[in-house]
Amino acid sequence: MDGKAGEKRALTGNEAIARGFYEAGGVVASSYPGSPTVEILEKTKVYEEIYGEFSTNEKVALEVGIGGSFSGARAMVSMKHVGVNIAADPLMTFTLTPTNGGFLLVTGDDPGLASSQNEQDNRVLGKFAHLGILDPSDSQEAKDYTKKALEISEHFEIPMLLRITSRLCHSRSVVVLEDRQEVKSKGINRSKEKFCMIPPGSRRAQMFMKERLQKLEEYAYDTELNTLEEKQGSDTLLITSGLVYYNLKEVEPEASIWKLGLVYPISKKRAKEITSQYKRIIVIEEMMPFIENELKLMGIECEGKKYFEYTGELDVPDIEEGLYQAGLLKNKPEGSKRFVETVSRPPLFCTGCPHRPTFDILKKSKAKVVVGDIGCYSLAALFPFEQSNSIISMGASIGMTKGIRKAMSLTKEEEPLVTVIGDGTFFHSGLPTFVNLLHQKKDNENMTFIVLDNRTTAMTGGQHNGSSGLYNERDDMRVGIKTLLETMGFDRIKEINQYDYKAAEKLFKEEIAYEGLSIIVVNGPCALRYNLEKPYFYVDPKICISCRACIRTNCPPLRMIEYEGIEKLKSSIDKDMCVGCSVCAQVCPVNAIKSSKASEKEGE
């Protein structure tokens, strides 16, 4: 992003963080794509002063970032909240070591589960890992805190966590740009005692880690990151942080507000000084009672979750309701949300999505147990396909299938198991679980693994992954999944074009019936990422028998309509939406669906 010092821009929280890292003289940035933070790395990568990569998973991304800091440069690693669980192994030891170059981990928490499998409050994880935690309230703060976090990290030699929530990641507010400040690399610190975490050095490091947090708590006493807004005559103090601050301000409460930018550690001395001036202390925060618990641990009496939900976002009406319950608002709020209600749209596979035929075939195959995984194919759990009996976390389907199979074998249940996993998930964490399948493998264990290889991380907007280079010559990752699995030692692997409906249907039937472990790699380019756009298809209403087989594939351009002079409803295709994948034509029993290209030729 261009922009000179002093210019004002309306940036999303994600864009502001990327800009902040650039201005702070950041050098190494890594991530794994996941909503709500995926744009941070995308925007960071545009600066040529920064090396940026989407790594194969969050643990690897963190390791790349740790390497950047170890080299003496400023590093930033961004991921969605559940990604920090994947990265937790190196993180818990990294926080024992001092940072060399400034280090920032950005976590995108998702109150309300807008696009996640769970809702977790990573302030808790941050404290568990002994990180200092900053919680910005708008895009300007997101940028400023990114820079501040790197400074603090270098000054106190502590890795920092910037916790941002979905709404802030994606909403825009005005940000004043500044120039980049080049920060000279400190060079690699070769101190084994500091950076080799083996006893007895690691025991000493634990003490050092605690000392650093104590120093950061002293810094928190009068940091400008925390602000007190005093209301004359008020005996109530409201304590808050993050985006909730602006929602609270809209309510215009008759109370003082202590806004925390540095939410961990909180200065005990400062907290006692401020809270002792008030009769009532109420903490307003999304998700866990994090600040509330910190204050209670200090012996400060306060309320909070008594009036506010543990889950979801705290919008203005939620805050009004909570403050009314607490007796701080005299009039009962109207109760209705002030926001304009939007028309709800059921989640749907995209037009021409290569996964659609796979799940249509699975639905017809009557496979009773389909173990699903994380990716856009999670949509198969919903109507109309309803072909996923479980979705837990990235790559979990493979290990779970083994557990289900082993248990069923002992109880003599013979139901065939079908498992789906996308290519992004396969490279993220599916690989070790595939290796594990070879351990104590029995020939008669019926498991069919379908690897959906659309060669992109589609759900988050089409970032690359291990096999993207097979479609995109500018991408240097060209790992063939079938070859890789063969090299591992799997001996029954079939490959099929996802759009070849009839051939895929036959193959699925054979492999599901096969008494043993088989793998099908289904190839088909993501229709959005690779701009699949072939000549459109159309319906000849005179041939159509209204059987609705095409409609049941659920491709958005298809619908039943009235044609002039024809009594019954017949199928029709919106040609502007159709990307010409041909799947509907393949399921039509009477060849009523034709390619516009073929008919052009016929007319020639």
| Residue 502 beta carbon to ligand SF4: minimum distance, rounded to whole angstroms | 14
| Cα four-point dihedral sign 49, 54, 55, 58 | positive
Give me the residues paired with residue 518 across strands: 448
Contact 290, 121 (CB under 8 A): yes
Q: How far apart are CA 431 and CA 395, in angstroms?
A: 8
| Residue 338 beta carbon to ligand SF4: minimum distance, rounded to whole angstroms | 39
Nearer to ligand SF4, 299 or 565 (CB): 565
- The interface mask with ligand SF4, positions 322-351, x = CB under 6 A, is -----------------------------x
Does the annotation place 350 within a ligand binding site? no
Q: How many CB atoms lie within 10 A of CB 236?
A: 19
Nearer to ligand SF4, 209 or 593 (CB): 593
3 state SS for 127-177: HHCCCEEECCCCHHHHHHHHHHHHHHHHHHCCCEEEEEEHHHHHCEEEEEC
Q: How far apart are CA 165 and CA 169, in angstroms?
A: 6
CA dist 555 → 132, 238, 357, 365, 582 (Å): 48, 51, 10, 19, 11
Amino acid at 510: E
- The interface mask with ligand SF4, positions 377-416, x = CB under 6 A, is ----------------------------------------
Residues 114, 549, 569, 594: which binds ligand SF4 (CB under 6 A)? 549
Residues 77, 160, 274, 573: which binds ligand SF4 (CB under 6 A)? 573
Check residue 571 for interaction with ligand SF4 (CB under 6 A): yes
Does the annotation place 302 within a ligand binding site? no
Give the pair of three-digit tokens for residue 56.
Answer: 């194969």
Q: How far apart are CA 422 and CA 430, in angstroms?
A: 9
Check residue 581 for interaction with ligand SF4 (CB under 6 A): yes
Check residue 57 for interaction with ligand SF4 (CB under 6 A): no
Check residue 41 for interaction with ligand SF4 (CB under 6 A): no
Nearer to ligand SF4, 458 or 588 (CB): 588
Residues 67, 201, 416, 557: which binds ligand SF4 (CB under 6 A)? 557
Q: Which helix (H) or strand (E) holds 518?
A: strand 517-523
Check residue 588 for interaction with ligand SF4 (CB under 6 A): yes
- The interface mask with ligand SF4, positions 349-378, x = CB under 6 A, is --xx--------------------------
Give the pair of three-digit tokens for residue 439.
Answer: 């351990």
Nearer to ligand SF4, 174 or 545 (CB): 545
DSSP state letter for 390: B
- The interface mask with ligand SF4, positions 508-547, x = CB under 6 A, is -----------------------------x-x----xxxx
CA dist 568 → 293, 537, 545, 548 (Å): 66, 21, 9, 12
| Residue 582 beta carbon to ligand SF4: minimum distance, rounded to whole angstroms | 5
Check residue 71 for interaction with ligand SF4 (CB under 6 A): no
| Residue 14 beta carbon to ligand SF4: minimum distance, rounded to whole angstroms | 32
Check residue 561 for interaction with ligand SF4 (CB under 6 A): no
What b/e string do you get for 363-391 counting C-beta neighbours within 10 Å, with b at 16 or more?
Answer: bebebebbbbbbbbbbbbbeeebebbbbb
Check residue 575 for interaction with ligand SF4 (CB under 6 A): no
Among 269, 88, 240, smallest CA distance to 161 is for 88
Check residue 558 for interaction with ligand SF4 (CB under 6 A): yes
- Compute how many residues bind ligand SF4; rule: CB under 6 A: 29
Give the pair of three-digit tokens for residue 494.
Answer: 């079939």
Residues 590, 597, 598, 600: which binds ligand SF4 (CB under 6 A)? 590
What is the SS3 assignment for 354?
Answer: coil
| Residue 565 beta carbon to ligand SF4: minimum distance, rounded to whole angstroms | 17
Check residue 112 for interaction with ligand SF4 (CB under 6 A): no
Residues 368, 548, 568, 597: which binds ligand SF4 (CB under 6 A)? 548
| Residues in region 132-171 near ligand SF4 by CB under 6 A | none
Contact 390, 373 (CB under 8 A): no
Check residue 266 for interaction with ligand SF4 (CB under 6 A): no
Check residue 593 for interaction with ligand SF4 (CB under 6 A): yes
State the first-to-last Cα distance of the chain, in angstroms, to the nearest integer.
Answer: 50
- Using DSSP, how many helices (H) and how many strands (E) does the chain show? 21, 22
Check residue 580 for interaction with ligand SF4 (CB under 6 A): yes
Contact 256, 230 (CB under 8 A): yes
Does the annotation place 526 within a ligand binding site? no
Annotated binding site for [4Fe-4S] cluster: 544, 547, 550, 555, 578, 581, 584, 588
Residues contributing to the site for ligand SF4 (CB under 6 A): 351-352, 537, 539, 544-550, 553, 555, 557-558, 571, 573, 578-584, 587-588, 590, 592-593
Annotated binding site: 544, 547, 550, 555, 578, 581, 584, 588
